[in-house]
A and B are shown apart, each in its own frame.
Chain A
Amino acid sequence: MTYLTKPKLHHPELPANALGFTRRDYEGTISTLCAGCGHDSISAAIIQACWELAIEPHRVAKLSGIGCSSKTPTYFLDKSHGFNSVHGRMPSVLTGANLANRDLIYLGVSGDGDSASIGLGQFAHSMRRGVNMTYIVENNGVYGLTKGQFSATADRGSKSKRGALNTEEGIDLAILALQLGATYVARSFSGDKAQLVPLIKGALTHPGAAFLDVISPCVAFNNHEGSTRSYDYVRNHNEAVNRLDVITVRKEITAEYPPGSVQEVRQHDGSMLHLRKLAEDYDASSRIAAMSHVQSRYAHGEIVTGLLYVEADADDLHANLGTTAVPLNGLGEKELCPGQAALDRLNASLR
């Protein structure tokens, strides 16, 4: 087996989006992950989000590191260029790609081993640089491909499948992202598609560093009793702070909300984020409040999900660098090479 394509036949009445594409046009090859893997639900959510936003698939660049999660970009958007790079280094490759062409949509997919251990440094620096991207960590608290070792996001005190107790503190990547200046930070659960799809849509339309920590249970190595990343555990301890609706400029606003229950965020591109509050008084526009809420609920054993923080006036790395609006990979000799005349002046200044 090299790889499996999916048959392209589909039901004639499958709905089409504004571009005339059906969901099938956003799919990739058949997943080779374990049956029931949370990551496959995330891939499905990415497909759904891109379809709903009517993104042209080829205008997305999907990048990943190494691990189960990093394999998933082959399972969606097969009209997009993909890059399965090296372990823990997706952020730098994505940053470089983004510098080369600011016009594409950058989707980075990583795992907890990839981002919280070997790649913690690159994760951190891509956040503080404000790279315009959607960075999804498919977080299962375990190394799947190497068969069940704890990862750095595993909670202290959780049990491995073999019964070993994790004695090291778990890293909360969402908290780190908040501290490091990411301008869109969310947490979700692969088992809650209704919550996850809008969060991905919001991240894809966000004009800065968007980070999503998605708890994604590993059915093979981390779905047992004593694990804090099992389907059962996450369902029982999930505390959503809000529900998101992403309203692109093209769409008329039809949803109606009871007054005072919605927080509205207008992004640079004109798209609107409507946050239906679930936790009273939760303010997604406050970085400090977000960190405080997430950590205090964690102390009570709860996993806070939803859009934790969003900055409406987010900037990105290109804005900081003052880069031209034209993609750098589209510039030629005319813009780039100063020619002999400039060299003559330089030569003269060096005598």
Chain B
Amino acid sequence: MKEKLHQLKLKYQGKKMAPAFNALHTFLYTPNDTTHSGGHVRAADDLKRTMNTVIMALVPCLLFGMFNAGYQHYSAINGFPENFDLFEHFLTWDNFWLGLVTVLPLVIVSYGVGLAIEFLFAVIKGHEVEEGYLVTGMLVPLIVPVDTPLWMLAIAVAFGVVIGKEVFGGTGMNILNPALTIRAFLFFAYPTWMSGDKVWVHGAVDRAGTADAISGETVLGFLAQGNASEISYTLSDMFYGFIPGSVGETSKLLILLGALFLIFSKIASWRIMVSAVIGALTMGLIFNGVVEAGWLPEYSKFYELMSFDFWKHLLVGGLAFGIVFMATDPVTGSQTNRGKWFYGFFIGLLSVMIRVFNPGYPEGVFLAILLMNVFAPTIDHYVVRGNIKKRLKRLKTATIYPKNSDEVDSLKTETA
């Protein structure tokens, strides 16, 4: 097998289809490349391993999302169980099966369309297929409503990969996070499918207007409409994730575990995660303070969201998921360690701000991250400037001895 593939690789070398073949080959076998410039040994990690680590952190969220898809669907029809039991009501075969048939197609379409475009561009441009989409392809089904039509997803993925990434030169060159570009495209192109109380539960859109109509409003949806009293979910529901929402964003426990795994494996930046949480809490505290100070009348449409306890913001919506898996994208985020603190902080801050002030759609994290993606180079610019300034300051005390060649001497006499 190894030998046969090696022969095939040699056969394809220099041909147009070589990138496509190599992508499949290197998926099976780490290549036999050896060092030919600089150091003679290299560390064990490559981009595939890095991306794979992120995917491993996402798999629990995906599996949970499948169970939750079924759970929300059946609960919307039959009512939520009285005495909730994890194994009796949630981790059931029925739930999983329903989740599988609704979520798996999303995953397949996301990967299928995205990778097809990646391969196409790699073959046209003659570079290797890059691994960036492995993570993007996994993120996309996790941040869309469960019933997103597949054709819609396919168009959005095509848009996101081409405009969000390939036009800039592929993985490592893009300015905006591709997964969020896809999400933003869906949101602005098909808003009715992306918000409201019908999209978060499987089957709700189809049944709308019939006698069997069901609905599932997200916690944020209730708050945005000023119906906080109707929220039936407990805090533990929100933490464990038994609430409606995008496929992978609901379980804060699994997101937290994923975050710890990514921080421990040193793949994602803890600086961004920590500062983003601080930013979100800060904004939440400010809003709480405004409400407590009595500056906001109770009839204000922002009242419910602004009086929502500051720390609960982390438990609802996609904020936690965005902070852990999207804000930490190294390509589109800040690249300097100091810049990461500012970058993360503003993501947290803006997410909660958009969430509270945007009446149409109470989820702001994807907009906040996209906005900060745009500003990340600016942040880095000022951080690097600081380093340059330090160097210029040092230059003032530089000891430079004159060159004792004739040329310099003659120059000196001229200027003197």
A, B in one complex: no
- Residues of A in contact with B (beta carbons under 8 Å apart): none
